[in-house]
Structure 1
Amino acid sequence: MVAEADFVCQQSVPVLDVQYLAKGSNILEESVAVTTSLAPQDFDLVRASESVSAELLSSETDFRSAERIPDVDLESAILQFVPSIRSGSFSDIGPRRYMEDEHIKIDDLSSHLGSFYKIPKPSAFYGVFDGHGGPEAAAYIRKNVMRFVFEEVNFPQTSNVDDVFLEEVETSLRKSFLVADLALADDCSVSSSSGTTALTALIFGRLLMVANTGDCRAVLSRKGEAIDMSQDHRPIYPSEKRRVEELGGYIDDGYLNGALSVSRALGDWDMKFPKGSPTPLIAEPEFRQVVLTEDDEFLIIGCDGIWDVMSSQHAVSLVRRGLRRHDDPEQCARDLVMEALRLNTFDNLTVIVVCFSSLDHREPSSPPQRKVRCCSLSAEALCSLRSLLEGSAGN
């Protein structure tokens, strides 16, 4: 199992605890009045990055895009629902000789960053990194991801979740992926043939934002229905194939330049053009985000060792059954890995299960039905019973 990252920050300035509100709403919490500028009519339930083309979104048969989530009463959900965040993870080397997966999970981001950072609460951060060409790139990114995301790119600090904050977070995350990619090129401890995919999930209040480069996947369970919060970056997808070929690359039997099964990754500098030049293999992430409601139960984040043998809906159904039995996200993560192994996956396996609802939000189970056993008596037995009863009454 891969060890999780543990971060300590020495600053200790109180963080403002702010509710996520609709536009024009005011709430008094801990003697602090806060008004946000986010309106349900101005903020789509999910906003995908503009670079995701329609062809790419429709290229998978088992794909229910987050853009297709039906409309809900967002204002009511925003004012009433507060995520109760907890998570569990599990990793296994699988049938491979070497473990190249890494991951990080932080259920309370504000505590890990220290109160020097002023961010909305609750807040959380998760990431999975699927290495290839050796473990160096994935291990390097896992070790340094917090620095890249929150220090090197001037991550926005505010207690208000509004349109400006969302744009700044997306811009900051995009820069952090590109900074991390360049850092891999400059670090002599990382082989130029080593690379990694990367998927991160940030939670601020009721906002869930997923950034993805490569073929890791994030799947949201909404009342038991699987909602893909990322798109696998495969060279065979039409928009990715077109982009690769326009930049001088080619696809051979589903592999980028005949060597790599993904079209986006960090590192792999032996396959990229000199720094600053357009290249078929890019580190640019794509984004999806959603306002969580009480219908959103959990998020599954996994490397492709899971998704190579399991559909998004299969994974959601398995986790949902497990949570109803034991309410343990770590056991659910283990169950997903065991199921992938049973289905003969050929890769390393890493998965994180993030729960958004407390036990009170789970659907109540039906009370057990009392079993009634029926039997029949012969005429002779009935006569004997009648005589017995009449004798007892006479006494």
Structure 2
Amino acid sequence: MIISQLQMGIYLSTPKTEKFSEDGNNNRLRFGLSSMQGWRATMEDAHAALTDLDDSTSFFGVYDGHGGKVVAKFCAKYLHQQVLKQEAYSSCDIGTSVQKSFFRMDEMMRGQRGWRELAVMGDKMNKFTGMIEGLIWSPKSGDKSKQVDDWAFEEGPHSDFPGPTSGCTACVAIIRENQLIVANAGDSRCVISRNGQAYNLSRDHKPDLEAERDRILKAGGFIHAGRVNGSLNLARAIGDMEFKQNKFLPPEKQIVTPSPDINIVELCGDDEFIVLACDGIWDCMSSQQLVDFIREQLKSETKLSAVCEKVLDRCLAPSTAGGEGCDNMTMILVQFEKATSSDDKPSASDSEFKPAESESQ
């Protein structure tokens, strides 16, 4: 296969349209998902979908990698585990537990253990270190039986590993009974359809947003051509340790921060479904356009993963000439069972929602 280098990135001569798709359900909801590499030379998206994180909680996450796939894969493997491990989770403070879990990802990817985990996940060693490619150091005593909490410091040649230079976005939705908790860092997005109207439950963290710009500048960074320090077109991400080197600042005030926005919503009878998707989808369709498209497909298609596949096919560009529709694409569609009464009204906090199309895209 021919690979061409264009301004927007490295593209294949023909797109890879094979899809990974999955469906699942419990008595509260059902979901479908699909992901596709598309025109990109590598697949750097990852995801997690657990209908039963515990007996009363479901977890869905989309992780869009950049500069490599390992940080997205790391988050897909460990972030939901960390949500369960947080002290706040046992006291039903899911918002705090997921927020701490975003920060915990950066902590876990440092040092010997972090280096080893990332190395095993598949990128070449020299992306992280000057060591010979393929050389993986591991301690003599195996650690497979350890719990995630026991992420103890390990001695080894990479004990001072500062963490990966690659990174990923993270957009997570946690559903417990009638409560929806959305946590987002980056430009993946979560949207809810409430009686056919799209509402954004997350904000795209672009460097030109006032709050993001202020933090970037105060931390000693700069913005050039809409990119942090001229390279990263995101203001928040997990990983990307080169933007988190100021020893005098806490993680939430670094040039790039993993700190998520947390949005807690009380679901009502008008809520039909939520969508989590990477920017490969949102570059091609607005929030309302996607909600309209899904609602139309649901009239004839019962399998939710098939609806996701149709979205991916619709967004895929016919060529790499324009850039849009050329990215990796991942989408999770979660449809609520109508356990709540259709007479339910949005709570006070929900009534502050603005329709997605009234927000700046």
Q: Does the pair score TM above 0.5?
A: yes
Aligned match for 1:357, one of 337, 349, 353: 337
Cα distance in 2 for residues equivalent to 1:284 and 1:106: 23
Aligned match for 2:222, one of 246, 250, 257: 250
Give the drift of 1:175.
Answer: 0.9
Residues 142, 2 of structure 1: CA spacing in aligned structure 2 closer, same or farther, 3 A cutoff? farther
Cα distance in 2 for residues equivalent to 1:252 and 1:358: 48
Give the drift of 1:95.
Answer: 0.9
Counting only pairs closer than 5 Å after superposition, residues 1-395 of structure 1 correspond to structure 2 as 1=19, 84-111=28-55, 121=56, 123-151=57-85, 153-157=86-90, 165=92, 168-186=93-111, 187-189=114-116, 190=118, 191=128, 192-274=164-246, 277=249, 278-342=253-317, 344-357=324-337
Cα distance in 1 for residues equivalent to 2:235 and 2:76: 21
Secondary structure at 2:331 match in 1: strand
Cα distance in 1 for residues equivalent to 2:275 and 2:248: 35
Residues 295, 269 of structure 1: CA spacing in aligned structure 2 closer, same or farther, 3 A cutoff? same
Where does the alignment leave 5 or more consecutive residues of structure 1 unmatched? 7-81, 112-120, 159-164, 363-395
- Which stretch of the first structure deviates more once superposed, 314-323 or 177-186? 177-186
Give the AA of the match of 2:309. R
Identity percentage of aligned residues: 35
Contact 1:185/1:267 (CA < 8 Å) preserved in 2?
A: no
Structure with higher strand content: 2
Secondary structure at 1:188 match in 2: helix
Contact 1:255/1:261 (CA < 8 Å) preserved in 2?
A: yes
Give the drift of 1:138.
Answer: 0.7
Give the drift of 1:3.
Answer: 7.9
Residues 238, 327 of structure 1: CA spacing in aligned structure 2 closer, same or farther, 3 A cutoff? same
Cα distance in 1 for residues equivalent to 2:300 and 2:178: 26
Secondary structure at 2:75 match in 1: helix
Cα distance in 1 for residues equivalent to 2:338 and 2:213: 43
Give the AA of the match of 2:300. R
Contact 1:83/1:356 (CA < 8 Å) preserved in 2?
A: no
Give the drift of 1:361.
Answer: 9.6
Cα distance in 1 for residues equivalent to 2:247 and 2:274: 35
Residues 292, 132 of structure 1: CA spacing in aligned structure 2 closer, same or farther, 3 A cutoff? same
Q: Once the two structures are superposed, what CA deviation does each residue of 1:210-267 show, in whole Å capped at 9, x if it has no partner?
A: 0001111000001111000000000011221122112111110000111101000011
Partner of 1:61: none
Q: Once the two structures are superposed, what CA deviation does each residue of 1:276-299 show, in whole Å capped at 9, x if it has no partner?
A: 634211010001121111100000
Secondary structure at 2:312 match in 1: helix
Q: Once the two structures are superposed, what CA deviation does each residue of 1:106-162 show, in whole Å capped at 9, x if it has no partner?
A: 123325xxxxxxxxx3x21100000111111111111112322112x224236xxxx
Contact 1:298/1:357 (CA < 8 Å) preserved in 2?
A: no
Give the AA of the match of 2:52. D
Contact 2:21/2:35 (CA < 8 Å) preserved in 1?
A: no
Residues 138, 279 of structure 1: CA spacing in aligned structure 2 closer, same or farther, 3 A cutoff? same
Give the AA of the match of 1:132. H
Give the AA of the match of 1:182. E
Contact 1:2/1:102 (CA < 8 Å) preserved in 2?
A: no
Cα distance in 2 for residues equivalent to 1:139 and 1:129: 8
Secondary structure at 2:183 match in 1: strand
Give the drift of 1:104.
Answer: 0.8
Number of aligned residue pairs: give it: 268
Partner of 2:132: none
Secondary structure at 1:94 match in 2: strand
Give the AA of the match of 1:143. K
Cα distance in 2 for residues equivalent to 1:242 and 1:101: 29
Contact 2:21/2:34 (CA < 8 Å) preserved in 1?
A: no
Secondary structure at 2:242 match in 1: coil
Secondary structure at 1:317 match in 2: helix
Give the drift of 1:358.
Answer: 5.2
Cα distance in 1 for residues equivalent to 2:73 and 2:20: 10
Cα distance in 1 for residues equivalent to 2:98 and 2:286: 28
Secondary structure at 2:78 match in 1: helix
Scaled by the length of structure 2, the TM-score of the pair is 0.69
Pick the structure with greater CA Rg: 1
Cα distance in 1 for residues equivalent to 2:247 and 2:326: 33
